[in-house]
Chain A
Amino acid sequence: MNDQETLRVSKIKNGTVIDHIPAGRALAVLRLLGITGSEGHVVTVTMNVRSGKLGKKDLVKVEDLELMTDQVNKLTLIAPTATINIIRNYEVVEKRSVKLPDRIVGILRCTNPGCITRQPMEHVSSKFVVVSKSPLRLECEYCGRYLEEEEVLKQLTQ
């Protein structure tokens, strides 16, 4: 790594580093984690850096916040290759890879306008079960309609 790249991905003292995010999806990752910047943590976003594994990748560092397993597992929807490093006193104390949960609650929207989860009056959170991991295919627990990978990406990245 040259000096310029070291500067870009400089170490943090405490917090979480999310590495190996597919290029261009760092902002979507932050959105999915509910990190807006207003929480006060120092957040560093690096996009389109060179990666041996992915060609190009994004990287997100959140200082003084250790993300929980449930939070990071949601990332598999848009960043299945992501790795999570928990940092304490400049050292990586834990490395986690993301694992797709069996059930996705409240993040995605069912594409069926007739689904009970799409009726604004009823306030029913969407719930999907994972039918297939690769390619990603989810099934609405209420109306049975499939949500395909392309639509999941569209909803979470746009």
Chain B
Amino acid sequence: MWKFRDVISILDFTRDDLEHLFSVTDRIIERPLDIGKPLDGKIVATAFIEPSTRTRLSFETAAKRLGAEVINLEPHLSSMAKGESLTDTMRMLDDYANLIVIRSPYEGSAKHAADVCENPVINGGDGTQHHPTQAMIDLYTIRRLKGRIDGLEVGVVGDLKYGRAAASFIYGLTKFNVKKIWLVSPEPLSPRPELMDRLKRMNVEIVKTENLESAVENVDILYVTRIQKERFPDPAEYEKLRGSYVITRKLLSRAREDLKVLHPLPRVDELSNDVDDTPHQAYFIQAKLGVPVRMALIGLVLGVF
């Protein structure tokens, strides 16, 4: 099911695949001492051609916790700075490591890397398109906090056009039987037609709205995303749209008591710090769960779980 698979898009995985990942993650969290160092002697390479904090460091932590060595490509210090292609760089890393985690600003680069490499490739985010491992963490977080994903109403707020975490999360939700998905964004940042088409084909109940308040009042999960400044072709357009939605403690006073707020982080100004010490806050838990989920993922792909 998982062994030696590339992880390019959440759409490539079935619900059973994800449930298996989640049960391995449960085991890692509940019995960490039983896990040992099953990747002793293996090497994991990270090639992050775009900035990252949580994704790169949690992959590195996860690999090290499993006993693997980690090598990091530093694009600005490598031959990529001299103009070496991503393709050639991937070929080289494929000879050095047992598994490669790639992040790139170009859509489709993880798929291309997987075509070029014999060893498994994990997509750590490619442009505006996919961020499958973030979606796995998001879904696992919901399952852990709510005990289920089925039957929930989920709101996704912010940049649904350029945000890869939002797109992958929405695709991930379609693997489960959620009750309803609320898509909340200003019109210029509404989801791309490809995503909407897929949702239509999947027969999921969707509410597309610009009205944040009505979503907040109804949902069990509120997934907040940053407006992706770096993806806007026109900076003036970004300035117009930044701050369109801000989640505050006051706004959440209208929400269900057990509403949980998720955010893939980093946040800028769309999620107020005054939410941090409310029972709604789940984004720091989500970030923390990044390590065990990625441990489970690396272990499954390398065939030790």
Q: Which residues of A contact B (CB under 8 A)?
A: 112, 114-117, 119, 121-124, 139-146
Instruction: Give, as a whole number of angstroms, the nearest-CB distance from A116 to chain B.
Output: 4
A144 touches B193 (CB 8 A): no
B194 touches A142 (CB 8 A): no
Taking a contact as CB atoms closer than 8 A, the residue among A116, A117, A124, A146 that contacts B194 in the complex is A146
Instruction: Give, as a whole number of angstroms, the nearest-CB distance from A49 to chain B.
Output: 39
Specify which chain A residues have a CB less than 8 angstroms from the CB of B87 in the assembled complex.
121-124
B9: nearest residue on chain A (CB-CB)?
A144
Interface centre among B86, B105, B112 (most CB of A within 10 A): B112
**Interface majority SS on A: helix, strand, loop or mixed?**
loop
Specify which chain A residues have a CB less than 8 angstroms from the CB of B128 in the assembled complex.
114
Which 10 A-B pairs have CB atoms at the shortest separation, nearest pair first? A142-B108, A143-B107, A116-B108, A121-B85, A116-B106, A143-B108, A116-B109, A114-B127, A116-B112, A144-B194
Specify which chain A residues have a CB less than 8 angstroms from the CB of B192 in the assembled complex.
145
Q: Which residues of B contact A (CB under 8 A)?
A: 83, 85-87, 104-109, 111-112, 127-129, 192-194
Docked Cα-Cα span, A133 to B105, in Å, equals 31
Specify which chain A residues have a CB less than 8 angstroms from the CB of B129 in the assembled complex.
143-144
Apart from A116-B112, A140-B108, 6 more pairs, CB < 8 Å: A115-B106, A116-B86, A116-B104, A116-B111, A121-B83, A142-B112
Docked Cα-Cα span, A116 to B86, in Å, equals 10
Specify which chain B residues have a CB less than 8 angstroms from the CB of A121 in the assembled complex.
83, 85-87
20 contacts between A and B (CB under 8 A): A112-B107, A114-B105, A114-B106, A115-B107, A116-B104, A116-B111, A116-B112, A119-B106, A122-B106, A122-B112, A123-B85, A123-B87, A124-B87, A142-B108, A142-B111, A144-B107, A144-B129, A145-B107, A145-B192, A146-B194
A117 touches B86 (CB 8 A): no
Instruction: Give, as a whole number of angstroms, the nearest-CB distance from B85 to chain A.
Output: 4
B130: nearest residue on chain A (CB-CB)?
A144
Docked Cα-Cα span, A115 to B111, in Å, equals 11
Instruction: Give, as a whole number of angstroms, the nearest-CB distance from A6 to chain B.
Output: 49
Specify which chain A residues have a CB less than 8 angstroms from the CB of B85 in the assembled complex.
121-123
Docked Cα-Cα span, A113 to B264, in Å, equals 26
Taking a contact as CB atoms closer than 8 A, the residue among B108, B127, B193 that contacts A117 in the complex is B108
B193 touches A114 (CB 8 A): no
Docked Cα-Cα span, A114 to B127, in Å, equals 7
A124 touches B127 (CB 8 A): no
Docked Cα-Cα span, A116 to B129, in Å, equals 12
A116 touches B107 (CB 8 A): yes
Instruction: Give, as a whole number of angstroms, the nearest-CB distance from A156 to chain B.
Output: 22
Docked Cα-Cα span, A13 to B114, in Å, equals 49
Instruction: Give, as a whole number of angstroms, the nearest-CB distance from A130 to chain B.
Output: 14
B109: nearest residue on chain A (CB-CB)?
A116
Specify which chain B residues have a CB less than 8 angstroms from the CB of A116 in the assembled complex.
86, 104, 106-109, 111-112
Instruction: Give, as a whole number of angstroms, the nearest-CB distance from A144 to chain B.
Output: 5
Instruction: Give, as a whole number of angstroms, the nearest-CB distance from A120 to chain B.
Output: 9
B162: nearest residue on chain A (CB-CB)?
A114
Specify which chain B residues have a CB less than 8 angstroms from the CB of A146 in the assembled complex.
193-194
Docked Cα-Cα span, A122 to B129, in Å, equals 18
A122 touches B107 (CB 8 A): no
A123: nearest residue on chain B (CB-CB)?
B87
Instruction: Give, as a whole number of angstroms, the nearest-CB distance from A149 to chain B.
Output: 14
Docked Cα-Cα span, A119 to B129, in Å, equals 16
Instruction: Give, as a whole number of angstroms, the nearest-CB distance from A74 to chain B.
Output: 22
B112 touches A124 (CB 8 A): yes
Instruction: Give, as a whole number of angstroms, the nearest-CB distance from A139 to chain B.
Output: 7
A141 touches B193 (CB 8 A): no
Instruction: Give, as a whole number of angstroms, the nearest-CB distance from B99 to chain A.
Output: 20
Docked Cα-Cα span, A114 to B85, in Å, equals 15
Docked Cα-Cα span, A143 to B123, in Å, equals 13
Specify which chain A residues have a CB less than 8 angstroms from the CB of B193 in the assembled complex.
146
Instruction: Give, as a whole number of angstroms, the nearest-CB distance from A89 to chain B.
Output: 46
Specify which chain B residues have a CB less than 8 angstroms from the CB of A144 in the assembled complex.
107, 129, 194
Instruction: Give, as a whole number of angstroms, the nearest-CB distance from B113 to chain A.
Output: 9
Docked Cα-Cα span, A119 to B126, in Å, equals 14
